[in-house]
Structure 1
Amino acid sequence: MQTRYGIHPTHFTRLNTQEIRDEYLATGLLQEGRIELLHSHYDRFIFGGAVPTTTPLSLENDDDLRAEFFLERRELGILNLGGAGAVTVDGTRYSMARFDCLYVGRGAREVTFSSSAAANPARFYLNSAPSHAEHPTTHCSQQDANRVELGNKDHANQRVLYQYIHENGIQSSQLVMGFTELLPGNIWNTFPPHTHERRMEVYLYFDLPEDELVMHFMGQPRETRHLAVRNFEAVISPPWSIHSGAGTANYRFVWGMAGENQSFSDMDAAALDEIR
């Protein structure tokens, strides 16, 4: 498991392009036959991927957690971005179609991932945060997620949000998780931008064609930088940073948050005339 440390926003402005990529961009998260995880010191958030092929994969403990097992003090959100598969939690099997979500509560000892067909494996994207209470393991399909339409064609930001783990959906200690879909002909996400000092966030961009990219914008509103992001790459967004992007084609992205609260609307809008 990789570890990334927190950086003060003033120090962030001194980083060059490669240094920003080294600190905030995560690549190689969804490799076939492997589990890859990254541990961010922002709210102790862990994210990564599990892509089982011919044999199941088990979520192993990591020495950096100083725990008896991975979810001893943590909760876990899982979103399947690939073919059909299953997640087994302490002996109970949950079938996972594409865009199904599974929340696994604190205290679960054994979590394994499997695919129905190795040629079209499930691609499980994982988000984990520290948990102060036990909540039941809960499955949710895309059909049962909370669907929210935002934006308009005139601003090239017409999009649909699917909320799974949130204050009015699957219950958790602090984890919030879902994904956003940009409709054809639209490229902008989360713009006009915002920050939320009470929560960090991670974006995983996916369903982006191989020859396309997203320009992801981050930094304080008056001191922004950018990252060129490809398919299945993720960006860590500190609480003080905006997090928005414009793609060369439409795309989807998973958003996962952890921090002080779970209120999706708790954000500090940045007016366009303030953006630098």
Structure 2
Amino acid sequence: MERRYASHPNEVKQFDTDRLRKEFHIPTLFTPDKLELVLSHEDRLIVGGANPVNKEVKLETDLKELGVSYFLERRELGIINVGGQGSVVVDGTEYKLDNKECLYVSMGTKEVIFKSTDAKQPAKFYLNSAPAHKEFPTAKATLEEVDSSALGDIKNSNDRVIYRFIHQNGIQSAQLVMGMTLLKTGNMWNTMPAHTHPRRMEAYLYFDLPEDAVVFHLMGEPSETRHIVMRNEQAVISPSWSIHSGVGTSNYTFIWGMAGDNKKYDDMDPVSMKELK
């Protein structure tokens, strides 16, 4: 498991492109038959990916990094499948997950196994794991079942649908909040006007991007913005003090996951367009 440390905004102002990418950009999450994990010291969120093709993949790592006897002893886990059909076996119970379906796995779960239904169209399980203080039931949700809302319009190139899977009024968790935003064809902007939420950090996974398309992910303090170029199925870490927005050369979908002091999806501090620099 790779480790990423927290950064102070005054320090980040001095970063060049290479340093920004080393600290915040996660380029590889879906390696065939392997588990990829990145531990961020921003609220101890773990961002990961499991891509079972020819064999099952287990949720496991060097436990000294977590100080526990098994991965989810003191953690909870959110999973969204961004690939072909697959399943997740949670302490012997199997949950089938189609593309864009979500599974929340409870703290205290001892074994998690990822499988694909068809090796020619393998599942790609995107993972967010946060420290937990209480057990909540393992639960699955589909796009049709969850709270959603349409925002924006084609005039502002931000016509999109937001799906909220794990949050205060959805699947219950200790602190993890997780969902997905789908931009319609011809729309490229997300989360603009921008905002911050100093009470929790956030991570994005961008996917459903054409091979030759990119997203310019905006981050930094509102008065000191920077950008990171993102490609398909790449993730980025956003500190609590940073904006997190983006514009693509095509429409795309992204998964957002948060950890911090509360589970309120709409807990954010708006940033007016006049403040951005």
For 1:253 and 1:235, the matched residues in 2 are separated by 11
2: CA distance, partners of 1:102 / 1:270: 32
User: Which position in structure 2 is the counterpart of 1:59?
Assistant: 59
Aligned: 1:253 with 2:254: yes
- The 3-state SS of whatever aligns with 2:73 is coil
C-alpha deviations, 1:106-141, integer Å up to 9, x for none? 000000000000110000000000000000110111
Whether contact under 8 Å (1:61, 1:67) holds in the other structure is: no
Structure 1 gap ranges (5+): none
Q: CA deviation at 1:47?
A: 0.8
Is the CA contact 1:61–1:68 (under 8 Å) kept in the aligned structure 2? Answer: no
Q: Which residue of 2 aligns with 1:237?
A: 238
Sequence identity of aligned pairs in percent? 53
**SS of corresponding position for 1:227:** strand
Point out the more displaced range, 136-145 or 18-27: 136-145
CA distance in 1, matches of 2:49, 2:191: 24
Within 2, Cα distance between the matches of 1:195 and 1:131? 23
Q: Tell me how far apart the structure 2 counterparts of residues 271 and 106 of structure 1 sit (CA, whole Å).
A: 39
CA distance in 1, matches of 2:81, 2:74: 23
Residue 69 of structure 1: aligned partner: 70
Structure 1 residue ranges (4+ consecutive) displaced by more than 6 angstroms after TM superposition: none
Is residue 82–residue 122 contact of structure 1 (8 Å, CA) maintained in 2?
A: yes
Inter-partner Cα distance in structure 1 for 2:253 and 2:47: 17
Task: Give, in whole Å, the separation in 2 of the partners of 1:100 and 1:181.
Answer: 13
1:61 Cα deviation after fit? 3.6
- What is the DSSP-based 3-state SS (H/G/I as helix, E as strand, rest coil) of the residue aligned with 2:130? strand
Q: Cα RMSD over matched residues?
A: 0.7
Report matched runs for 1:122-141 at 5 Å: 122-141=123-142
Calculate the TM-score normalised by the size of structure 1: 0.99
Residue 49 of structure 1 is matched in structure 2 by 49
Structure 2 counterpart SS, 1:249? coil
User: Paired residue for 1:269?
Assistant: 270
SS at 2:114's partner residue?
Answer: strand
In structure 1, what is the Cα distance between the partners aligned to 2:120 and 2:146?
Answer: 28
In structure 2, C-alpha distance between the alignment counterparts of 1:217 and 1:97, rounded to whole Å: 30
Q: Secondary structure at the match of 2:144?
A: helix
Aligned 8 A contact 1:79 1:102 in 2: yes
Residue equivalent to 1:37: 37
> For residues 131 and 13 of structure 1, what CA distance do their matches in structure 2 show?
32
Tell me the TM-score normalized by structure 2: 0.99
Amino acid at match of 2:69: E
Question: Which residue is equivalent to 1:219?
Answer: 220
Query: Aligned letter for 1:57?
Result: V
- 1:33: how far off? 1.1
- Whole-Å separation in 1 of the counterparts to 2:220 and 2:168: 27
In the TM superposition, residue 32 of structure 1 has moved relative to its aligned partner by: 1.5
Give, as a single letter, the amino acid of the residue that structure 2 aligns with 1:167: Q
**SS of residue in 1 equivalent to 2:69:** coil
Number of residues of Structure 1 aligned to a counterpart in Structure 2: 276
